[in-house]
Structures are given as structure tokens and as C-alpha cells.
Chain A
Amino acid sequence: MTNGTDLAELLASARVDGRPPSVAELRQRGRRARRRRLGAVAAAGLAVLAVGVMVAATRRPPTYDVATVDSTTVPPPTASPSATEAQPVLAGGEEGGPAVLLPSEGWQLAVLEGGGYTAPDATVRAVTGPAGPLGPMAWIRFNAGVETIEYPDGPATHHDTTSPAGHTVRVGWSAAPEDLAAIRVVEGGSLAITSFDLDETELLSLIDSAAVVDGRVEIDTAALPAGFTAGPTTPDRPYLTFSYALRGAAGAVNVSISRWVGAGSDVSAFIRYRPGIVERTIDGRPALIASADPTTDNQASALLVDSASWDEPGWAYSFTILPPTDTAPGATAAEVETLLSSLRAVEHDELLAELPADLEDRQAAIDRWLADAPVPATADLGVLREGPPLNRSEAEWFYQVLKCSVVLDWAITGNDERLDQVAASATWTVGADMNRYWEDLVAKLADQKLSGPPRVEDLVPRPGVLASARTATTDDARWATTLVDDCRWAMSLTGQRRS
């Protein structure tokens, strides 16, 4: 080995051997993989979550620091919330009964149980996020009627102001000016709201509308800023659930996000969103949507991987996309499509692999990619049926359309009954069904000789595919799309199918 030309020679003569598996062994492996994929949806999801929990537990202990909150009654987190049901975290109270930290999607409300809120002379502190490296987003002291707001990096800057309804409200903020907290004295106690996205005017309107009724916080949903919705409170869930909505050009599809930070705790993430990019998570770090993961709980979930930890498996965040018919009345198919376009854009492995590490560069790369994504005006999918090769842009576009359409239809129709019915009887094998669906779709599009974007109704997949989209794991979806990609690539490589 004396010079570089030897590398070519070395490679040409190199031998790497292993015992080739038999076809039967590979089939067995395939069956095992399929069983794992189809039979352990929850297990797979929980496994991923478990990694996140383990990593979080290792690196970011979900410690509710007793000293920090100055309370001796903070119980340790005990219950492990399910993947689909956020649990309130008892943060403890000193004199006025237990405080409840109320994680919700996009918001956190801290109120007190046992009377609903603080007694006038109570001193209670509630932590709105885990202690540790993440730090609490804010923690609020209810102190004998003198409410103060503190943040991990020191006392909050605050001022007292009068809300539109005439209430005196103390508004505080940390070093991050958008990290606001507001406290309003209400009858018999105090009500606090923290926010990570509202401006002060919006926050004041919201806290004006909040009230404690029969021990439950209620809020006038009309007071919510445009694009936000509030879920109902129930006796066992006496706090508001907010859905953080997409605002602006991305449409009005609600996205609620929760992140597991350790056993027994579930902390909402605040995610600012624009097509293709989730700008930050609860800890202010950028994140991207890595893959879609439909679940069985009337929600399509996705996996967020913290881009700052791109190569560190386990930094996974789950979030849910609720059917627009449930959470975003008035959302149009186009709006849904806008969202899903952003999803499918960042699903692409190659794109992810090529994303620059720097956030600004990454955003620019994604923007460029999205700009290139529109359907070529000259695309004629009829060629697929005839046999000649697609050019790369056509094939790429078709692949994206296909990949998205499964999710798109479900997101638009939200027809759970039909999905469940089909799911009960469907025999789903990813390869065969996806291939058949693919060929059906090809034929349909080819018949129409599309020269532009297909209509949504043209892309409705067969029910079996929809059912699988509901029950399949992320792995299934990725496997299916990879299969299609392989098929597409093979066709482009060889020029035509020989069969």
C-alpha cells in the first residue's frame, strides 16, 4: 500500500465474506419483521417513547426540585401516562392544598385543586416545566395574595397592568420575551396562565375570560386567538386542553404536542410551525418532523427528532395531528394539504440526510426543496403505464404524491367508522397491498393523462390502505414508501419493466 491508486486495486481484489442466509431464513426474518410491525403497534411506539424517556431520564432528569419550588409536599412522579392521555402532574402546594400543574397542548395552566385555586393566604408554587437542564419554563409563586412570577434564570421582569375587562393582572416574562406568564386574582384565589406564543394583549384577553367553575377552569373559547381551540374539561380532567394551532400561511390545522420527559410526567411542547419546519420545541431547540406515524387514537402522530441531536437516537418527540373536522372547523382540504405537503417534504430520507447542521442553512435548504417540489407542468404519468422511463422530477413528484395521499385522504375524511370497519377485516401486507394500490393509482392517473396536480378525490386510496395507515407503525409506513421508492427507482434505472 504505497500510493492512492492502490485503493482502487485494493477494492478490486478485496474480499469480504459472510455466510449467506438461505431464502427460508430470510423469509423467516421477513415474517418476524412483519409480525413485529403489524402486531405490536403500541409496543413499537412505546419502545421509541421509552428510548426518549430513558435518554431524557439520563440527560434531563425530570426532577421536580423540591428546593426550587420551596415545598415539602411535592410528590414524586408516579403514574406513567399513556401515550395518548396526558396526565396532570401534581406539583404540590404548601398551604392551600395540592397544586396541579396542568400540561396541555400548547399551554400550561397552573391552578389549585381543593377549592379550585389558592386560598387568599396560601403560598403555593407551581412549576410549569421540569427542573434540570431544561429548566422550568416558568414557575409561579402564589404567595398570600401577592403573586410573583419567577423563572429559572432569576426573578421575572414583570409589571402590573389592567386587562380589557378591568382586572389587575401581573404579567411577567423571562429572558425570552415571548415566554409570558400572567396572574390574575380571582375570587378566593389566583389564576395563572403561562404562554409561550401569545403576546401580552392576547394573554390578557385570555386570562380575562378564564374562570373557575365548580373547581374547573373554564375559558371562553371566543377569547382564544385565531387559530387556537380549547378542548372540553371533564370532572377527571379539570383543566383546559388547548390545541396549538397553526397560524399564518400554513393553515389552521391544529397540532398538539406533548413530550415525555420522564416517568410520570408529560410536558407540553410549544412548537411554532411553518411549512416544513417546526421551529422549536419546549426547550427552544429547533426540530423537524421526521416521519409520520398514524395511530389508532383518532390522531395521526408524527415523530419529531431534535435536529440538534440529529444523530442521537432517542431524542424523539411525539405529536398529534387531529382531524381537521374535529379541531379546526373550516379547515379546507387545501389547508390540510399545505400541512401535509410540509410533512412529506421533510419525511424524505435523502433530504434529511443532506440537511445542513446549521439551522439557517437547513431552513434555506428546505425552502429550496419545497420550491422545487411543485409538479412539473409537463408531467405525464401516462408514461408510467406505457413503460418508458419517467424523468427524475416526474418520478420524484409521483412518489411524493403517492406517499402523501394515504395520509391525506384519512386526514380529510376523518372517517373513523369506515376505517375501523375495514381495519377489522383487512389483511394488510405492506408490500402486496401497497404495490396493488400503487398500480391502481398509476392506472387511474394514467387514464386521466394528468398534466398537473391530481385532485384530492383522485388520490383516495383503497380502504385497505387507509386501514393500514391507521394501524401501521412508522416502520410500516417507511417500509412501504421505501418499497415504492425502490420500485420507482428500479423502473427508472432499467428503463422499462420487462414483465
Chain B
Amino acid sequence: MAPSHEHQPELQAFIDRHYGRLVGLLRFQGAEPADAEDLAQEAMMRLVAGWDRVGLLDQPWAWLVKVALNLSRSRWRRLQTTLRLGHLVGGDTVHHDQAAIDALTLLDGLTERQRTAVVLRHYAGFSVRETAEVMGVAEGTVKSLCSAGLQTAQRHARADGDGPAPAATLMAPERLEGR
């Protein structure tokens, strides 16, 4: 379903505004840089295809995040990723600032669900209710996942503080850039 051309500037603006954030969200979910970009572009591709409909939603950003998360969970897509022959278009380099690199290190110790909840709440900018809707869980679950996730991160940060600095914090930002 191709979008109407009169919506294209609006659509492009939406993509420009959210692309990096979506790639970041997928990175914080554990995707490698190239995979995060690939997933983001796949989700954006569907956004383009359905913009006439999605653009009318109250929360197209939430729609996009949900689609991207579904894609990242897709078993079949993981199979496809193995077979991917390089279909990335446009950007192929992911840049992280130091805060992102540190966050990646701390997120490593969280479970997948904790990670999702924390990232949706504190990176994607969703409220507890919106996070619960995206994840398909109760609001209380989101709160407990976030609480447990942040506590885990706190423990890891303290442990790291007693020992050597996390490897990622020693790594220059460009080392974590894309392929």
C-alpha cells in the first residue's frame, strides 16, 4: 500500500526524527549495529508502506517501536538475517555517544524483559502505561521489571566500580560504530 505522495515530506520528517532513536532502541535491545539498522529499516519500510494508515494513529512512534520489536523477535527473520546479502539502504554506520556506550554496558546484565521495559521507559520515552501496551503486559509488571532492571544495573555498576572499568567504557566510540 504505497503512501500518498502528498504525505511524503511529513513521512520523511518522521523518519528523520525517529530513525536514530529506533536504531538506538534496537541496539539497547541487544542487536548488533548492522542488525539494528537492518531492523530499523525493515520497520521503516513498513511504515512507508502503511503511512496513510499509521500516520493517522495517535502514536505512530509506538506503532513503529512495536513493529521493530516484533521483527527483532521474529524467529524467521533471524533465519533470514543469516542469509542476508546486504540490503541496507542509506545509512550503514551507527554512532554512539559515550552515554550510549555506558548504557550498553550496564544493560548487559539485564534480562531481555527487563531490558525492554527499561529501554522503552527511559530511552524511547514511553509512559508506564504505554510501555505496558507495547510489551503486552500489565503496568505493574512494567514497574517491577524496571525496578529490578535498574537495581541489577546498580549492582553491576558498583561491582565495576570496585574493579577494572568496563571494557566498553574503555573503548573509543568509533570502535562501536557500524560495520
Contact = CB atoms under 8 A, between A and B. Distances in A.
B1 interface: yes
B93 interface: yes
A490 B54 contact: yes
A17 B106 contact: no
Contacts of B107: 7
Nearest to B38: A29
B90 A22 contact: yes
A33 B43 CA distance: 13
A6 interface: yes
B82 A5 contact: no
A465 B175 CA distance: 47
Contacts of B157: 1-4, 6-7
Contacts of A153: none
Given A30-B49, A490-B54, A498-B57, A21 B19 contact: yes
Contact of A290 (B49, B70, B76, B95): B76
A8 B118 contact: yes
A51 B83 contact: yes
Interface string B11-50: 1100110011101100110000000010011001111111
A489 to B, nearest CB: 6
Contact of B44 (A4, A17, A21, A489): A21
Contact of A26 (B23, B89, B133): B89
Nearest to B150: A4
Interface residues of A, number: 65
Interface stretch (A82-90, A240-248, A349-357, A400-408): A349-357
A216 B71 CA distance: 50
A12 B70 contact: no
A234 to B, nearest CB: 35
Contacts of B48: 23, 26-27, 30
A320 B56 CA distance: 42
Nearest to B176: A16
Interface of B: 1-3, 8, 11-12, 15-16, 19-21, 23-24, 27-28, 37, 40-41, 44-50, 53-54, 56-59, 62-63, 66-67, 70-71, 73-83, 87, 89-97, 99-100, 102-103, 105-107, 118-119, 121-123, 133-134, 136, 149-158, 160-161, 169, 178
11 contacts: A1-B169, A2-B157, A4-B152, A5-B154, A6-B157, A10-B106, A14-B100, A26-B15, A353-B73, A475-B76, A482-B74
